[in-house]
Amino acid sequence: MTKNQILRNALNSGKLFTAMAAHNPLSAKLAEQAGFGGIWGSGFELSASYAVPDANILSMGTHLEMMRAMASIVSIPIIADIDTGFGNAVNVHYIVPQYEAAGASAIVMEDKTFPKDTSLRANGRQELVRIEEFQGKIAAAAASRKDKDFVVIARVEALIAGLGQEEATKRGLAYEEAGADAILIHSKQKTPDEILAFVHAWPGKVPLVLVPTAYPALTEADISALGKVGVVIYGNHAIRAAVGAMQKVFAQIRRDGGIREVDAELPTVGEIIGLQGDEAMRRVEKRFLR
Ligand code: SPV
Ligand code: MG
């Protein structure tokens, strides 16, 4: 089965598919080893790893090349976060085959204006494009893919923009009609109430995608029990884990005036060499070095 088929089958299966955010091939590999079904090619994480805001500061090429690098290392599907599609429907028609060729198995595109502002920031600029315009962008994404199993996910930002449930449902249905394979509905409310109201009322046929960063109380068991959600995305836990771990270790080394104490708490250099794919390289060495 191809990676695209794995994701497509998961969406059709009715079973919840889990995707962990990653910002480089190493974090993607760790997510795969931990047992997640797929990788979320997060714009937020990649931006954070460059220490710039998640507001279309990085170019499409930078994100695309990171998806390619991750896809060359992991065997699980990558869901690429293409923000607003880097322009209009013409841009989307051009870039979707590039993401496909880079090894992604899906794109998620959100209905905000370009340049976007990050969704979870308080008081961010959250302006949406017209429904018809975004339908055109979704239709362009669906029409331009080469493999019918490549998944197109439309992301509704109406709740993030404070436009209410009615607008969110209207947009979700319009994007389904335009050819979206799934609808990502995002919320920044601290409790799951807003998202649960949307999910319970969702009249569409395609599965929903949730990103429960703001409302972490909702577990996979809770989400599965809703019966309408195909994918849960853990949006930024790789970069937050990395930042927390580095801050802790760096502070300890400064406090201790050296690395003696901290050394035993860290993964060994051997473990890192293992993650670099050393074993495979040694096999090549043995076979071809003369
Ligand atoms: C991302 O991880 O880049 C996302 C999810 O788009 S969020 O940051 O919650 O908007
Ligand atoms: Mg994003």
Burial of 107 per CB tally in 10 Å (0-12, 13-18, 19+): buried
What domains can you pick out in the chain, each with its CATH number? 3-236 (3.20.20.60), 243-288 (no CATH)
Residue 21 Cβ inside 6 Å of ligand 1? The answer reads: yes
Average pLDDT over residues 90-102: 98
Q: Which of 20, 23, 40, 44 to mutate to test the pocket of ligand 1 (most atoms within 8 A of CB)?
A: 44
Give mean pLDDT, residues 18-35. Answer: 98
Query: Is 263 marked active-site?
Result: no
Mean pLDDT, the chain, integer: 98
How large is the average pLDDT for residues 3-29? Answer: 98
Residue 151: strand pairing partners = 106
- Is the CB of 212 within 6 Å of ligand 1? no
Give the helix, strand, coil percentages of the chain, each rounded to 5.
50, 15, 40
CA 137 – CA 132 distance, rounded (Å): 9
Q: What is the pLDDT of residue 81?
A: 98
Summarised one tens digit per residue, pLDDT across range 155-199 is 999 999 999 999 999 999 999 999 999 999 999 999 999 999 999
pLDDT at position 5 is: 98
| pLDDT digits 0-9 by tens, 109-149 | 999 999 999 999 999 999 999 999 999 999 999 999 999 99
- For residue 253, the surrounding DSSP H or E stretch is helix 237-256
56 lines ligand 1 (CB under 6 A): no
The CA distance from 260 to 242, in Å, is 21
Instruction: Give the count of beta carbons closer than 10 Å to the beta carbon of residue 150.
Output: 25
pLDDT value at position 110? 98
pLDDT of residue 281: 98
Q: Supply the angle between the helices 89-101 and 60-71 in degrees, to the nearest 10.
A: 20
Q: Which residues contact 128 (CB under 8 A, 6 or more apart)?
A: 111, 112, 113, 134, 157, 158, 161, 163, 171
CB count, 10 Å around CB of 97? 15
Determine the distance separating the centroid of ligand 2 and the alpha carbon of 256, expressed in angstroms.
38
Given a contact cutoff of 8 angstroms between Cβ atoms, the answer to whether 187 and 215 are in contact is yes
- pLDDT number for residue 177: 98
With bands split at pLDDT 50, 70 and 90, how would you rate the model's confidence at 9?
very high
Average pLDDT score over residue span 252-269:
98
Q: Decide whether any atom of ligand 1 lies within 6 Å of the 41 Cβ.
A: no
| % residues pLDDT > 70 (the chain) | 100
Looking at ligand 1, which atom is closest to the CA of residue 188? 9
Question: Which atom of ligand 1 is found nearest the CA of 43?
Answer: 3
Determine if ligand 1 sits within 6 Å of the CB of residue 235.
yes
By percentage, how much of the chain surpasses pLDDT 90? 100
* Ligand 1 atom nearest to 235, measured from its CA: 2
Strands 151-156 and 106-110: parallel
